Structure 1
Amino acid sequence: MNQTNASRMEVACSLLSEPERRFLLYELATDRTANIEDLVSQIAAWELDARIAGIDKETRQQVYVSLVHNHLPRLADYDIIEYDLRSGDIVLEEGFDDIKPLLEQFRQTEEEPELRERAPL
């Protein structure tokens, strides 16, 4: 493996090491587009192993802030997603295809059966 491939692998592993980023990408992999409000609810539910209806406003706000100030910008920096905070739209970009195989491997090791049993990415 040359230095460029090794660096790309390190970046991919670093990006996917955070559960919120993986959960975000699992959801986006299905339709390649989503709205941040829907993702916030689903990610919070997975993190707390709870139903979406049971997620309180404070928890949703914490997930939203984490996505907006950390996870979305990082993924956008590597051309994995594009997002528009005004509309709330998030779309997968070409860079996603580079990490898709690794994301699938991560998905197979998730503790939550719901995540492991989803259709392949």
Structure 2
Amino acid sequence: MEETLGSSSSLSTWFGVSVVENRVHLINMDGSHFLLAKLRRRYVLKYLLDNEHGNAREIASEIDGETRDIHISLVHNHLPRLADHSIIEYDHRSGDFARADGFDELRPIVEQVKIESESSIPILE
């Protein structure tokens, strides 16, 4: 769906995220759920609550000692997806990433996810 907003602005919606002049703005919970759907993306977003920037290889080693598969999924899937939604700025060559303007719109939800993940009680078998 695309709608014209004057002579030079356009608005399109995809997975609950609106794009206005190549800038992404979350417009409802569907967009944030889409971005938070995967554990590795949630880890990156929670990491960015306390850090302005990071590196894919460092994050992969924090998630698990077996970094190769995690690093590949971060570099080829999760970080580019967050960058496509203007949540992070991402340099594919170095693996470096930093918070972008869109992160502030997602911050309250990521903070809630962090609180809930820290307070969850593990199931004992």
Q: TM-score of the superposition, structure 1-length normalised?
A: 0.71
Equivalent AA in structure 1 for residue 35 of structure 2: L
1:80 aligned to 2:87? yes
Greater strand content = 2
Computing the radius of gyration over CA atoms, which structure comes out larger, 1 or 2?
2
- Kindly provide the CA deviation profile for residues 80-111 of structure 1, in whole angstroms up to 9, marking residues without a partner as x: 01111222211110000111101111111115
Does the 8 A contact of 1:24 with 1:43 survive in 2?
Answer: no
- Label 1:80 to 1:6 Cα distance change in 2 as closer, same or farther (>3 A): closer
Calculate the aligned-residue CA RMSD, in Å: 2.3
Greater helix content = 1
Does the 8 A contact of 2:54 with 2:98 survive in 1?
Answer: yes
Structure 2: runs of 5+ lacking an equivalent: 1-15, 19-24, 121-125
Structure 1: runs of 5+ lacking an equivalent: 45-54, 114-121
Does the 8 A contact of 1:37 with 1:88 survive in 2?
Answer: yes
Does the 8 A contact of 2:54 with 2:97 survive in 1?
Answer: yes
Does the 8 A contact of 2:88 with 2:102 survive in 1?
Answer: yes
Equivalent AA in structure 1 for residue 30 of structure 2: E
